[in-house]
Amino acid sequence: MKSVSILETAAAAQIWNSAAQLDNIPVINTQSLVPAGARAVFIAPHPGDEVVTCGGLLQLLSQLGHPLQLISITDGSASHPGSQQWSEKRLSVFRPQESVEALRRLGLPMHSLKWIRGGFTDNALVEREEQISQFIARYLRPGDVVFSTWREDGNVDHDTVGRASAKAAASIGASFNEVPVRAWHWPARDREHIPWHRARKVRLDTWTVARKSHATHAYASQLEGEPALGLAPMLPRVLLERMRLPYEVVFI
């Protein structure tokens, strides 16, 4: 699937709010998705992806007392190439601070949360896919339930980390689930590429959705682009609007 910018398609023509299949996705509860006592591991290509993809599920699992581990493959510092306002040096400091604030807003137990930072470089992951997979495998255990971005999401970093995570999970004996991010913003004509038979909905109540939205707005560096440089927001309004849906979708 060719990568498609979220801003290249009108909101009404995107999969997330126009595909009839969305209404028919079966609901799965957290107990079925993550068995009692199992550790949940969330692998994010960039800081913030774990909140955008699974901010609601993170809250639900935390409330149930599941041990959680987050792995950020990059530090997100290369998200604004050529920017003076958000230089790579500034973002290398700022992005981790945004993540801490976002996770705090979700209500996660920061004193006990395991958070691993890989330090790989944004937009250069595909060349290091095998190394990334080996890195991830070091932090997994048999019986873990792993979540990462869909291997066909349409973003090179997302696809790479999805493949690396799947391989690492298989090598350790952990179960693996994928979460689409950019794919929801493909044009509606591409909806047949979504693996609907694998899709499951995790329902979220009003307060869980509100905390997720509040947490996403902690990523100040990603909310505004720089038109003079041709840089669009990493978290455009249409994506923020989708995140207010009362469910999250995972591919099992």
Assigned domain for 226 exists:
yes
pLDDT digits (tens, 9 = 90+) for 73-127: 998 777 777 777 777 788 888 888 899 999 999 999 888 889 999 999 888 899 9
Q: How many domains does the chain have?
A: 1
Provide the pLDDT for residue 194.
97
Sheet holding 199-203, edge to edge: 114-120, 68-74, 40-44, 145-149, 175-179, 247-251, 199-203
> Which secondary structure element, helix H or strand E, spans residue 35, and what is its range?
none
Provide the pLDDT for residue 110.
86
Provide the pLDDT for residue 88.
77
Cβ atoms within 10 Å of 251's Cβ, excluding its own: 20
Provide the pLDDT for residue 79.
73
Provide the pLDDT for residue 16.
95
Provide the pLDDT for residue 4.
53
The tokens describing 176, both together, are 């693996």
Assigned domain for 213 exists:
yes
**CB 226, CB 80: distance < 8 Å:** yes
Provide the pLDDT for residue 209.
98
| Domain, as residue range, for 93 | 6-251
Listed as ranges, residues in the chain with pLDDT below 50 are 1
Assigned domain for 1 exists:
no
Rounded to whole angstroms, how far apart are CA atoms 137 and 227? Answer: 40
Phi, psi of 221 (to 5 degrees): -65, -20
Start-end of H helices in the chain: 30-33, 49-63, 88-106, 129-137, 156-172, 206-216, 237-242
Assigned domain for 18 exists:
yes
Q: Residue 234: which CATH number?
A: 3.40.50.10320
